[in-house]
Structures are given as structure tokens and as C-alpha cells.
Amino acid sequence: MIVLGIETSCDETSASIVENGIVLTNKIYSQQIHKKYGGVVPDLASKDHEKNIYNIVLDSINDSNIKLADIDVIAVTFGSGLLSSLIVGLNFAKGLSIALNIPIIAINHLEGHLCSSIINNKFIKYPYMSLIVSGGHTQIWYLKDFNNYKVISNTVDDAVGEAFDKGARILGLGYPGGPEIEKKAKNGDPNKFKFSIPSVKSNNLSFSFSGLKTALLYKKNNLDESKEAYSINDLAASYQKILIDTLFDKLKKALELYKVDEISIVGGVSANKNFRQKAVVFENDNNVKIKFPDMEYCTDNAAMIAMAGYLKYKNNETSKLDILPNPNISR
């Protein structure tokens, strides 16, 4: 079975060919136009998708050494994400579906991230938990099976990726913020400045990151006003530490309620090397196995969308051509 995956939920234009669960190609065009604005501008993102999607899809097909006629089904992201960006990918998929007379499968972007850890026939044992950490989401899912799951933890304000971006802006670093903070943190002392793990009274499993961003802002402003010498590297390292510690604190609480042998950690923030190093310690301390996607499948990509489509099509699931984008879908 050959699946064409298309992903345009935010600022990556991506297409992938997956054959029987194996990735043949995974083409990604990452938009650079947003860097000068310090964040994604929706109108510019959709125009860039329109400009590049044809060539990205064509390159993915050509480099996989298949023909258009070989494609059995098209998997495309229909939510969550930026409405104008989702429309580009979804309309392109619908047009191609009609032209080739093949079905489409509308994929929840988050389900795509869940599948990123099992690309290329990697195995994960059900039931398991998955921590999704990205610019738009911070959630813990409990999965009994591929189509049998529930969200057991969410953020009440910012996502952790958003906290990295906003923290980087406070520190005068570039966009996207996660990699910029990680670079500075490599040469900093993570114990130099103390921050506290936020608690949410309404739900012990819920995440909250907006207060940490504010604490970082106050800390930097106080240091600047006092004329005290300090290192941006130390601030970055300390801030990165508390964000990662918060993730593992909630994951440990969830593990106490939902007994599983394996956990997947997916999404853009899962590419953070310090995060991955601390995951090894968490594994040993809690007698659990943690699985990360390969680095190329951490950020938004069409391979994970194609993989989700492959599993759904095997389960005889397809979508109608009148499917509409849903920018706010969470599960």
C-alpha cells in the first residue's frame, strides 16, 4: 500500500511517500520568512504554502521512484493548525484525489505526531502514554489502542514550545526559540537561577507555562536594573531546565495513575538533546521505557501524516471530499 502524505498545518510545507509503513521520501520546506517577525504570520504562511506545495509533492513522488498512478490513498492534515494554511494542503489533496480517483483520509495533526514514534516499523506496546510537546500543544495521551485513546493532561495556558519561543524573545534570542535557547544553554549553568514548577489547583496533571515566562522576564529585568553581571547562557540553561523538569514532573504524576511499560515523547520539543538526556534518567528512576521519534520526524512533517493514514486505511477508514479544515481540533 502506497500513501501520499501532505502536511501544511503551520509553517512547514511537507509531502511524503510511505509504502507499507516504510518512509520512501519525506520532503520538508521550512518557511524562513517568519524569522524577522519573531513568530508565524498566518497570511504569509498560507501564501508560501501555495507557492511551494506543488513542487514539494512532485519532488516527493519523483524521488520515491513511483508514479502518480501507484498511489493508493492520500493522507492530509485537516487540523489542528492555522486555518489558511490547512486549507492549502486540504484543497490540494482533494484536487489530486479527484484527478486520480483515489480516496483521501483527513488526519488530526496530533495523531500524526503520535505516529511519528512508530515510523519505519518501530514497535510500541499498548497500552502506553504519549507526551506531545510542540509549539501549539502540551498534552499527555493514554492509548489503549490506535483508535482508542484519551487526553489525560493538557496545558491551561501556553504550550511548552511557545514558552521556549517567548523565553527566547525575552532573552533577545532568535526564532524559533527552542533551538536558540538550547544553543545558549549548552554553555550555561542550569542551577544558577532558581525557578519553581508551576502547580494547577484544578488538576494536578495539568501543565502551566505562562508563569515561568513571566518569572524569566522579572528575573532578567531585576538583573538588568541591579547592574549585576550575569550570563545569558546561565539564564537560558536555568529556564530550559525548569521547562523540562515541569514536563517530567507531570509525566511522573500521570505514570502513578496510568500504569504503562512504555511512553513516547513526540513533537518539536522532543528534538531537544537535554530533554532526551534527562529522559534516560527518568526511565531508570521509574522503570519505564521512553521512545522518541528519529530527529527528522520530531517537527511537523508529512511522513507522520502518511503513517497515520496508512494505519487508518488498513482499518478501512476514509474521509469524504466535503471534509472541512478544523483549526481548533485537539483530539
Q: Under 8 Å CB-to-CB from 95, ≥6 apart: which residues?
A: none
Q: What is the pLDDT of residue 276?
A: 98
Of the pLDDT bands very low, low, confident and very high (cuts 50, 70, 90), residue 331 is low
Q: What is the pLDDT of residue 38?
A: 84
What's the pTM? 0.94
What pLDDT digit, counting tens, does each position of 56-100 carry?
999 999 999 999 999 999 999 999 999 999 999 999 999 999 999
Reply yes or no on whether the pLDDT at 182 is more than 80.
Answer: yes
Residue range(s) in the chain whose domain bears CATH number 3.30.420.40: 2-115+298-314, 125-293
The domain 2-115+298-314 having CATH identifier 3.40.50.300: the answer here is no
CB atoms within 10 A of CB 135: 25
Q: What is the pLDDT of residue 35?
A: 85
Q: Report, as an integer, the average pLDDT of 39-62.
A: 96
By residue count, the chain amounts to: 331
Rounded distance between C-alpha atoms, residue 317 and residue 312, angstroms: 5
Residue 29 or residue 35, greater confidence:
29
- Reduced 3-state DSSP string for the chain: CEEEEEECCCCEEEEEEEECCEEEEEEEEECCCCHHHCCCCHHHHHHHHHHHHHHHHHHHHHHCCCCHHHCCEEEEEEECCCHHHHHHHHHHHHHHHHHHCCCEEEEEHHHHHHHHHHCCCCCCCCCEEEEEECCCCEEEEEEEECCEEEEEECECCCCHHHHHHHHHHHCCCCCCHHHHHHHHHCCCCCCCCCCCCCCCCCCCCCECCHHHHHHHHHHHHHHHHHCCCCCHHHHHHHHHHHHHHHHHHHHHHHHHHCCCCEEEEECHHHHCHHHHHHHHHHHHHHCCEEECCCHHHCCCCHHHHHHHHHHHHHCCCCECCCCCCCCCCCC
For residue 315, the number of C-alpha atoms closer than 13 Å in the C-beta half-sphere is 13
Cell triple for 134:
510542540
Cα radius of gyration rounded to whole Å, the chain: 20
Of the pLDDT bands very low, low, confident and very high (cuts 50, 70, 90), residue 228 is confident
- Specify whether the CB–CB gap between 51 and 35 falls below 8 A: no
Reply yes or no on whether the pLDDT at 167 is more than 80.
Answer: yes
Fold of 125-293: Nucleotidyltransferase; domain 5 (3.30.420)
For helices 232-257 and 160-170, the axis angle rounded to 10 degrees is: 170
In what side-by-side order are the strands of the sheet with 22-30? 22-30, 12-19, 2-7, 73-79, 104-108
Q: Name the amino acid, one letter, at 162.
A: E
Cell triple for 145:
489502542
Q: State what percent of residues in the chain have pLDDT above 70.
A: 99
